[in-house]
């Protein structure tokens, strides 16, 4: 089993421990580390039993967890590493949630956001599923379809405003304030479920408590997808909901009524802050090295020791 999975198994079973760890992993400066530095960190971890400074080992773990895929052992593309998720996606989220004057700007920003999210979901998936040319082609089609569908669905509030102007204030309130909340959550979950659907089709590796791979399970793959989809829905749904609630409260204040120009900056800043705070929280909702009951797996696993806990890599 990859050292990254061993680390998550021993250090990431409680929400608070995962949250503290994610706050450290999400340091954007580590993305500047070269491939040689990452390889040196991996070598250092393999020789951890020898005399090394604890601080040096701790930094090596953070670099490995943020840069190396735990299933393949290969480097994750710097653009799709967890520590750059906030700097890249935050401007896209803010731009996609602001009211646009036309449909084309809404489609443009939704396309950038959905394309990046699909790439991030694919790069950080559980990569143990069997692959061949047919699977790769199917996965490419699913990713393109997901981006196209999510782009148009994400621009739905703007489309409603343009096409149904006669509804007046009711349509505007619904489209600008209410619809983006469930829509953002559903599209985020939808992207995870479709992009990573091969895990439910082909299965992912299941491990025993000692870290030994004992088989491949589609049930574990489905559970990994479901948990990640829920965490992503919480991230984007909360990011859309909290600034909307904050603005609704601020609009009642006399100071804001006298200075309506302050609303736009508050919307942008609050969206970015909530999104940034929710990233480590959403990543921590479920363990990276999750547990699953033997009874929930396929028949071939039922002959195992009934007291044995089984584990799987959830992905991100």
Q: What is the pLDDT of residues 279-309, one digit of tens each?
A: 999 999 999 888 888 888 888 877 776 557 7
Distance CA 108, CA 200 (A): 31
Helix (H, G, I), strand (E, B) or coil at 252: coil
- Taking residue 246's Cβ as centre, other Cβ atoms within 10 Å add up to 15
Mean pLDDT for the stretch of residues 157-185: 79
Q: Highest mean pLDDT range out of 34-48, 123-137, 144-158?
A: 144-158
Confidence of residue 52 (pLDDT cuts 50, 70, 90): low
Distance CA 92, CA 158 (A): 16
Closest CA to 235 of 123, 103, 56, 113: 113
Q: Are 244 and 167 in contact (CB under 8 A)?
A: no
The range of the structural domain enclosing residue 191 comes to: 79-313
According to the model, what pLDDT value does residue 51 have?
47
- Taking residue 37's Cβ as centre, other Cβ atoms within 10 Å add up to 13
According to the model, what pLDDT value does residue 165 have?
64
| pLDDT: which is higher, 74 or 236 | 236
Return all residues near 147 (Cβ < 8 A) that are at least 6 apart: 111, 114, 115, 118
Helix (H, G, I), strand (E, B) or coil at 154: helix
According to the model, what pLDDT value does residue 172 have?
75
Find the DSSP H helices in the chain: 3-11, 15-25, 35-46, 54-67, 85-97, 103-123, 133-154, 156-163, 169-173, 180-195, 197-202, 218-250, 254-258, 263-284
Mean pLDDT for the stretch of residues 7-11: 76
Tell me: pLDDT of 46 over 60. Answer: yes
- Taking residue 146's Cβ as centre, other Cβ atoms within 10 Å add up to 24
Return all residues near 314 (Cβ < 8 A) that are at least 6 apart: 126, 224, 227, 228, 286, 287, 288, 289, 290
Mean pLDDT for the stretch of residues 67-84: 89
Q: Are 310 and 292 in contact (CB under 8 A)?
A: yes
What's the mean per-residue pLDDT of the chain? 85
Distance CA 204, CA 87 (A): 31
- Taking residue 288's Cβ as centre, other Cβ atoms within 10 Å add up to 25
Confidence of residue 90 (pLDDT cuts 50, 70, 90): very high
Distance CA 106, CA 99 (A): 8
Q: Are 70 and 313 in contact (CB under 8 A)?
A: yes
Q: Are 275 and 239 in contact (CB under 8 A)?
A: yes
Tell me: pLDDT of 187 over 80. Answer: yes
| pLDDT: which is higher, 106 or 176 | 106
According to the model, what pLDDT value does residue 307 have?
58
| pLDDT: which is higher, 145 or 212 | 145
Distance CA 206, CA 17 (A): 23
Distance CA 203, CA 222 (A): 8
Q: Highest mean pLDDT range out of 61-70, 152-161, 230-239?
A: 230-239
| pLDDT: which is higher, 235 or 8 | 235
Mean pLDDT for the stretch of residues 4-26: 83
Tell me: pLDDT of 49 over 70. Answer: no
Tell me: pLDDT of 215 over 60. Answer: yes
Q: Is residue 145 part of a domain?
A: yes
Closest CA to 120 of 83, 71, 152: 83
Distance CA 229, CA 31 (A): 25
Question: How far does the chain reach from its first CA to its final CA, in angstroms?
Answer: 18
Q: Is residue 73 part of a domain?
A: no
Tell me: pLDDT of 130 over 60. Answer: no
Q: Is residue 271 part of a domain?
A: yes
Q: Is residue 290 part of a domain?
A: yes
Name the β-bridge partners of 213. 207
According to the model, what pLDDT value does residue 273 have?
94
Confidence of residue 127 (pLDDT cuts 50, 70, 90): confident
Q: Is residue 208 part of a domain?
A: yes
Distance CA 10, CA 6 (A): 6
How many domains in the chain? Answer: 1
Q: Are 35 and 78 in contact (CB under 8 A)?
A: no
pLDDT more than 70, % of the chain: 92
| pLDDT: which is higher, 109 or 50 | 109
Task: Sheet containing 204-207: give its strands across.
Answer: 213-217, 204-207, 310-313, 289-292
The model carries a pTM of: 0.90
């Amino acid at each position: 089993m990859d050292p990254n999975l061993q680390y998550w198994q021993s250090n990431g079973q409680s929400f608070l421990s995962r949250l503290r760890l994610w706050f450290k992993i999400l340091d954007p400066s580590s993305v500047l580390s070269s491939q040689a530095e990452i390889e040196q960190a991996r070598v250092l971890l393999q020789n951890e039993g020898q005399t090394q400074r604890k601080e040096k080992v701790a930094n090596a773990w953070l670099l490995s967890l943020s840069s190396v895929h735990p299933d393949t052992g290969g480097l994750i593309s710097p653009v799709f590493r967890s520590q750059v998720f906030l700097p890249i996606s935050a401007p896209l989220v803010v731009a996609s949630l602001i009211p646009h004057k036309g449909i084309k700007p809404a489609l443009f920003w939704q396309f950038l956001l959905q394309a990046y999210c699909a790439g991030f979901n694919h790069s950080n998936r559980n990569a143990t599923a069997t692959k061949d040319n047919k699977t790769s082609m199917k996965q490419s089609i699913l990713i393109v379809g997901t981006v196209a569908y999510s782009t148009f669905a994400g621009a739905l509030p703007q489309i409603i405003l343009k096409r149904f102007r006669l509804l007046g204030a009711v349509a505007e309130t619904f489209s600008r304030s209410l619809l983006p909340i469930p829509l953002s959550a559903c599209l985020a979950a939808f992207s995870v479920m479709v992009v990573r659907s091969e895990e439910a089709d082909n299965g992912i590796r299941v491990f025993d408590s000692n870290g030994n791979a004992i088989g491949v399970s589609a049930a574990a793959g489905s559970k990994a997808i479901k948990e990640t989809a829920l965490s992503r829905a919480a991230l984007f749904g909360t990011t859309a909901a909290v600034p909307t609630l904050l603005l609704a409260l601020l609009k009642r204040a006399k100071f804001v009524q006298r200075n309506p120009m302050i609303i736009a900056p508050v919307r942008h800043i609050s969206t970015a802050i909530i999104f940034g705070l929710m990233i480590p929280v959403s990543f921590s909702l479920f363990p990276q090295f999750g547990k699953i009951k033997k009874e929930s797996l396929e028949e071939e696993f039922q002959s195992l020791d009934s007291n044995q806990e089984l584990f799987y890599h959830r992905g991100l």
